[in-house]
Amino acid sequence: MISVDDARSLIEQRCTPISAEPGPLNAVSGRILHEDVVSPEDLPAFSRSAMDGYLMLAEPATASLRLAGEILAGDPPRQPEPGETLRVSTGCAVPETGVCVIRQEDVSVTGNLITVRTKIVAGSSIRQRASQAARGDVLLARGIRINPGAIALLASVGKTHPLVAKPVPVFHISTGREIVDASRTPGFGEIRDSNSPMIAALLADQCASLVGHAKLPDDPSQLRATLESPIARNARIILISGGASVGDHDHTKECLLATGFDIVFAGVAMKPGKPLLLAQRGETLAFGLPGNPLSHFVCFHLFVRHALASITGAPPPERFTAPVPHDLRKLQDPRETWWPCRSSPFDLIAWRDSSDIRHLASANALVRIPALADPTHSDNLTGFLL
């Protein structure tokens, strides 16, 4: 059995980066940017009014100004004449220097005359050209995960097809003769498949595309045939749910060996998820994930997500620290434990065993509880956000 850290570095070493493709803005949310996005223009591209109000010279000749017209949003800017003012609305173009906008709340209007009731300062209520970014500035750096804010920024500079990592093709195989689809009423001793829908949701968040899903009994010949199929050969990652352990009906390891995979490791010194195994055939990595749903979840976040990040160039998850609980010894196990929790305020979720997902929905992080024999002492626990 190897340590969690060693397992993660072996995974990293076995991953080949995936190539990039231009993706339309409506399909790049959550994907990894593979280029620096440089601003093709100043932001804003022209000086514009920040308010509904009146445009005037910064040094008006008189306190009362004649209303001489209006600049409409979308029109080119115009300079008011001395003694005159122009009506403006938020976002309309204004000259770059020598003017200001006075909000309509700060003037009194008598017929055609506008009297300013506040101090006049050059540039007030104007969003100056290039005040947010100059042409040539890097707006978004290669390697970030694109979120809705980034999508808005990309759209605002006309970058409609940013270069993003291709989605990683993942094939999920659920094994176990007792497992039935969640839509079915289980017979006695049968268990609804919760791993498959959970994996589909986890993959959707991690730049992966679920290219296939198979449901198999504990039959080695069917598992071998599935691992030989074109869909398995073309997947970058194969996730095999269940059968990773050493029971008489756990066939994952032998089937992987029989279909041309090398075993990278089998067993990780952790709780939950000890039976996890990793195998490799060319560019394809196969994870044998323990079937218990909590183990499945934890192993996905610690290992599968790490593989996906190594392939796509995704940034590492955000880390956090938490105070060591008073009753730490009660929580410790001979193996290090990765415990689903809330990061802030820090709170461990309750779980009785690795099949127990009663409270999993409220977790937003995993925290590492050191093994009982771990000699490293620290004031804090560390973990990462999901």
Query: In the bound complex, what is the minimum distance in angstroms from residue 286's beta carbon to ligand AMP?
Result: 15
# residues contacting ligand AMP (CB under 6 A): 19
Give the CB-side neighbour count of residue 249, counting CA atoms within 13 A.
Answer: 10
Binding mask 220-259 for ligand AMP (x = CB under 6 A): ---------------------xxxxx--------------
Distance CA(145)–CA(316), nearest Å, equals 10
Residue 194 contact among Mg ion, ligand AMP, none, beta carbon within 5 to 8 Å by kind: ligand AMP
Binding mask 212-251 for Mg ion (x = CB under 5 A): ------------------------------xx--------
3-state secondary structure of 255: helix
Footprint of ligand AMP on residues 67-106 (CB under 6 A)? none
The residue (of 167 and 243) whose beta carbon lies closer to Mg ion is 243
Footprint of Mg ion on residues 322-341 (CB under 5 A)? none
Our finding on whether 174 is near ligand AMP (CB under 6 A) is: yes
Footprint of ligand AMP on residues 183-212 (CB under 6 A)? 191, 193-196
Residue 206 contact among ligand AMP, Mg ion, none, beta carbon within 5 to 8 Å by kind: none
Residue 174 contact among ligand AMP, Mg ion, none, beta carbon within 5 to 8 Å by kind: ligand AMP
* Residue of the chain from 106, 178, 219, 356 that contacts ligand AMP (CB under 6 A): 178
The residue (of 125 and 175) whose beta carbon lies closer to ligand AMP is 175
> DSSP labels for 43-56?
BSSS-EESSSEEEE
The angle, 0 to 180 degrees and rounded to 10, between the axes of the packed helices 305-312 and 4-14 is: 30
Residues whose CB is less than 8 angstroms from the CB of residue 32 and which lie 6 or more positions away in sequence, other chains included:
143, 144, 145, 146, 164, 165, 207, 312, 313, 314
Closest CA to 107 of 149, 67, 145: 67
Residue 292 contact among ligand AMP, Mg ion, none, beta carbon within 5 to 8 Å by kind: ligand AMP
Closest CA to 52 of 11, 108, 5, 105: 105
Sign of the alpha-carbon dihedral angle for 179, 184, 189, 193: positive
* Residue of the chain from 23, 53, 77, 176 that contacts Mg ion (CB under 5 A): 176
The residue (of 214 and 381) whose beta carbon lies closer to Mg ion is 214
Query: In the bound complex, what is the minimum distance in angstroms from residue 47's beta carbon to ligand AMP?
Result: 59
Cis peptide before 186 (omega within 30 of 0): no
The residue (of 104 and 222) whose beta carbon lies closer to Mg ion is 222
Footprint of ligand AMP on residues 348-367 (CB under 6 A)? 355
Sign of the alpha-carbon dihedral angle for 271, 272, 277, 278: negative
Question: Measured between alpha carbons, how far is residue 323 from residues 271, 332, 347 in Å?
Answer: 20, 15, 10
Pairing of strands 179-180, 277-281: unpaired
Our finding on whether 275 is near Mg ion (CB under 5 A) is: no
Query: In the bound complex, what is the minimum distance in angstroms from residue 238's beta carbon to ligand AMP?
Result: 15
- The terminus-to-terminus CA distance of the chain in angstroms comes to 25
- For binding to Mg ion (CB under 5 A), which residues are involved? 176, 242-243
